[in-house]
Structure 1
Amino acid sequence: MTGEFASHKRQAEAAGEQEAQAMVLQQAFQRDPALWLARMRLDDPVFFFDPARLRATAALFMAHFPGEVTYAVKANPEGAVLDGLAAAGMAGFDVASVEEMAQVRRAAPEARLHYHNPVRSMTEIAAARRFGITSWSVDRRSELDKLGPLEGTEVAVRLKLPVAGAAYDFGSKFGAGPEETGALLRAVVAKGGMPSLTFHPGTQCREAKAWETYIRAAAGIAACAGIRLHRLNVGGGFPAHREEPAPDLPALFSAIDRAVAAAFGKNRPALVCEPGRAMVAEAFDLALRIKAREGETIFLNDGIYGGLAEWRDIAPSTRVTVLDPDGVPRSGESRRMTVFGPTCDSLDRLPDGLRLPVGLEEGDYLLFRGCGAYSSALATRFNGYGARQIVTLARQ
C-alpha cells in the first residue's frame, strides 16, 4: 500500500505541476502579443489593448499638465478606453458629437463634457444641452448666435494661426483669425457668457514652438479686446511615440506653463488641454499578417481602409516588428518594401512602404506598436475587411 500511495502521490503532484505550468503559460499568452499570436495563429487583424499603459499615460498627464485634462474621444471611443480613463480619474472629456456624449455618459455619468466641435445643427445643440455641456466652442458669429442666451456658460472662441510644426494643419477647416477672435470674445461677454479661448496647434507636434506662438497671440488678443479670459484651452497636438526618441511630454507641459506665465502675467487664465493621440496611442498594438509576398511587395490582411487609415496622412511609424509564426522576431538585412492592404482598391497601399527584413515570409506577422489613436475609430468594412478584434492584455 505504501508503494501504491507514493505512486498516486507522484501522479497527483505531476498533474498539479502540469496544471500550474498550463496556468503560467496561459498568463504569459495574455501578457505577450508575440506568444498570443504564436498560440492562436490568427489569420485576422487584431488589436492588443494594454489597460496598464493607458492608466500610466493618464496618470502622467494628470500629474504634470498644469490644468484640466480632457480626453478627446474622437481618437479612440472604445468602451474599454473610456471605462479605463474614468477609472483612472479622468473627469473631463472633449466630445465632437451627440454619439460621443452618450458614450462618455455610459462610462462616466458625472464627467464634464467640452463640446468643442464649433459647427452644430440646432438639433445637436438641443441634444447637447440635455447631456449637460460644461464648455462650448465657436469660431464664427452665426454659431455663437445659435447658442442663444449664455447666462454664465463657458464659451471658448477658437483661434487659428498660420503656425508650422504639426504633421498637418487643423486651421484649414475651423478657427477664427485674430481680429475676429477678439470680436467674438466681446460678443460672448455681451451675451452673458464666460469668455475663454481655445486653439489646436495641429497633430503630432514634437516641439513647443507651436503652443508658444498661439499662447502669445492669445494673450495679445485678449488684452486688445479688454477681456480677461476665464480659461485657455491649449488643445491637443501632443505627440505619440511613432519614432525615436520617445516624446518628452512633461517637458512640453513645462514649456506651455512658462509661456502662459510670460504672456499673461497677473491675468493668467486657468489651463485646459484635450489630448487624444498622445493619451491612447501607446495603449494599443496592431498585429497584421502577411497574406502573400511577391519579390519586394507584400500584401497584408488590413491596410488604409482599416487600422492603418492614418498612414495616408502622416509620416509612417518606425516602430514595426516582424514576427515569424512562432512569435520569434525576424532580424538581419532589411530593405524598403511595397506594402498593400487586402482590398481590391489599388489605393490601399502604404504611401512610403516599410523597411522590413528580407527574410520575411507569407504567414509572418507585422506588429505595429503604439497604434491606439485613429485606428479602430477610422476602420471601415470596405470589401469586408478592417481591423476590429481587440484582445485585452493582462499585464503584471
Structure 2
Amino acid sequence: MGLDEGQPAATVWDNPAEIIRSLQPEHPVLVFAPDVLEQRAREFIAGFPGLVTYAVKSNPDAAVIRNLVAAGITGFDVASPFEIDLIGRLAPHAARHYHNPVRSRAEIAHAVAAGIKAWSVDSRSELDKLFQQVPPEGCEISPRFKLPVPGAAYDFGSKFGATPELAAELLREVAARGYVPSLTFHPGTQCTDPAAWEQYIRTAAEIAAMAGVTPRRLNVGGGFPSWRVHGVEPDLRAIFELIGRTTARVFGHDAPVLVCEPGRGLCADAFAIITRVKAVRDGQSVFLNDGVYGSMNELPVIGNLDRVEVLTPQGEPRGENGPGRVVFGPTCDSVDRLPGEISLPENIAEGDYVIFHGAGAYSTVTNTRFNGFGELSQLTVRRFH
C-alpha cells in the first residue's frame, strides 16, 4: 500500500527501469514522481480562474497530500469522516469541502464537530438534515445539479444531482435560512470535452435566476482529464479558459467565485504501475501479476490505460508495440481481464515488465486483495523515463 504517515523517506530511484534492474520485483509496484504531481498542481493553480481543491478520494496517500500542500494547494474535497480527519491532520490550515451530498446524521455530526463549513446537497430530505444539524453562521450549502451532458468516461448524474428546477428551490431555501448560498456540479469523470462545462455554467446562471439568488461560489466539480491515451494529451488550458470566459459572460457583474475539485486530473499522471508478466499462454494471451481486482479495478468501466511500455528484466525496452493482445490479471477468476486488447511487443516474454503510465487515481484505493493477490508496494522516482 502507500507510504504510512510518519514513515521515513525511502530511497528515491532515478526511474522505473532502475527499480526493475535493481529489485526484479515479483509483486506490482506503484511508482510515484513527486515533481510531476507538483508541476500539475502548479498548472492548475496558475491556470484555473479560482480556488483549486483536491478530491482526496482519488488517492489519499499521505505523500500525495503533503506534496500538494507544498505546491500551493490550499483546499481539499473530502467525502467521508476519514478524509475529513486525514486532511485535518496532514493539512490543518486547508479548507475542507464536504461535497458528498448524502450523509448519515452521525457523519454530519462528525463534520460539524470537525469545523466543516462547506456542504453540498441534492435533495430536500438531505437538506432538511443539514438544517437540523448545521448552524448557519458562516456555513455554505451548495445545491448540486445534473444535466444529460455527454463527453465523460462515466456520468455521476446517475447517482447524484438535482434537476435544475429542484436546485433552484434548494438554493432559495438555503439563502432564506441564512446560509451562504452556492452551487455545484460535476460533469463526469475524465471529461475531455470543454463544452460540458460551458453548458453546466450556463444552466447554473439559469438556476440562480429562477431562485432569485446570487450564488456566492460556483464549484465546477472535477472531471478534468488525465493523460490516458498515447499521443493525445488533454488540453487543460482550453478547459480553464472556457470556464472563466463562460462564467464572466453568463453571470456578468454577479459572477460567483469559482472552485474546482480535480482528483484524477491532479494525481493520475504522477504515478505508474510496474507489473510483471507471469505467462504468455501459447504465444497469445498475456497474464500479469496485477489486474482488475487489484490496482486496475476501474479499467473495465473507464477503459484501458493506453500509455504502456514493456521492459526486459534488464530494464531495456522490449521493442515496438505490435498487435493487440488479451491481457488477464493473476486471479483464478475469468472476470479478471483488462477490457478489449492492449498493444504489446510481439516478442513479449515471461518475466518482462509492463508499465502502465498515468495510474495514480483510483488504483491503491480500489485494490481488493481478492484471491490473495494485490500486494502493492510504493516507491519514489525522479522521473518516468
Fold similarity call, TM over 0.5: yes
Report the counterpart of residue 21 of structure 1 in structure 2: none
- The answer to whether 1:124 aligns with 2:107 is yes
Higher relative CO (Cα under 8 Å, sequence separation at least 6) belongs to 2
Pick from 70, 81, 98: which aligns with 1:98?
81
Q: 1:110 & 1:332 partners in 2: Cα distance?
A: 48
**Which amino acid is 1:354 matched to?**
I
Equivalences for residues 1-396 of structure 1 within 5 A: 30-148=13-131, 149-243=135-229, 244-294=231-281, 295-332=283-320, 334-394=322-382
Q: 1:173 & 1:241 partners in 2: Cα distance?
A: 26
**Does the CA contact (< 8 Å) of 1:47 and 1:387 recur in 2?**
no
Q: 2:82 & 2:88 partners in 1: Cα distance?
A: 10
Deviation at 1:218, TM superposition (A): 0.6
Q: 2:191 & 2:138 partners in 1: Cα distance?
A: 34
**Does the CA contact (< 8 Å) of 2:303 and 2:339 recur in 1?**
no
**Does the CA contact (< 8 Å) of 1:166 and 1:203 recur in 2?**
yes
Once structures 1 and 2 are overlaid, which stretch shifts more, 184-193 or 83-92?
83-92
Deviation digits for residues 113-168 of structure 1 (CA, Å, limit 9, x no counterpart): 00000000110001001221131000001111111252331001000111111111
Give the SS at the match of 1:215.
helix
Q: 2:37 & 2:234 partners in 1: Cα distance?
A: 16
**Which amino acid is 1:326 matched to?**
Q
Once superposed, what is the RMSD of the aligned Cα atoms? Answer: 1.5
Deviation digits for residues 206-232 of structure 1 (CA, Å, limit 9, x no counterpart): 121100000001101101210101100
Report the counterpart of residue 19 of structure 1 in structure 2: none
Q: 2:201 & 2:329 partners in 1: Cα distance?
A: 42
**Does the CA contact (< 8 Å) of 2:321 and 2:343 recur in 1?**
no
Give the SS at the match of 2:269.
helix
Q: 1:264 & 1:134 partners in 2: Cα distance?
A: 25
Deviation digits for residues 295-338 of structure 1 (CA, Å, limit 9, x no counterpart): 21111001001111111111212100011111111114611111
**Which amino acid is 1:255 matched to?**
L
Deviation at 1:392, TM superposition (A): 1.1
Q: 1:386 & 1:64 partners in 2: Cα distance?
A: 37
Deviation digits for residues 85-116 of structure 1 (CA, Å, limit 9, x no counterpart): 12222110000000011111121011110000
Structure 2 residues without counterparts, runs of 5 or longer: 1-10
Give the SS at the match of 1:171.
helix
Q: From the superposition, tell whether residues 150 and 376 of structure 1 become closer, same or farther in structure 2 (CA, over 3 Å).
A: same
**Does the CA contact (< 8 Å) of 1:51 and 1:283 recur in 2?**
yes
Give the SS at the match of 2:298.
helix
Q: 1:165 & 1:186 partners in 2: Cα distance?
A: 30
Q: 2:167 & 2:211 partners in 1: Cα distance?
A: 9
Give the SS at the match of 1:255.
helix
Report the counterpart of residue 8 of structure 2 in structure 1: none
Structure 1 residues without counterparts, runs of 5 or longer: 1-26
Once structures 1 and 2 are overlaid, which stretch shifts more, 29-38 or 124-133?
29-38
Q: 1:91 & 1:333 partners in 2: Cα distance?
A: 41
Q: 1:184 & 1:97 partners in 2: Cα distance?
A: 23
Give the SS at the match of 2:193.
coil
Give the SS at the match of 1:309.
coil
**Which amino acid is 1:281 matched to?**
A
TM-score normalised to structure 2 length? 0.94
**Which amino acid is 2:188 matched to?**
G
Give the SS at the match of 1:155.
strand
Deviation digits for residues 46-70 of structure 1 (CA, Å, limit 9, x no counterpart): 0110111111011111111000000
Give the SS at the match of 1:289.
strand
Give the SS at the match of 1:357.
coil
Q: 1:301 & 1:315 partners in 2: Cα distance?
A: 19
Point out the structure with max Rg over C-alpha. Answer: 1
Deviation at 1:395, TM superposition (A): 5.3
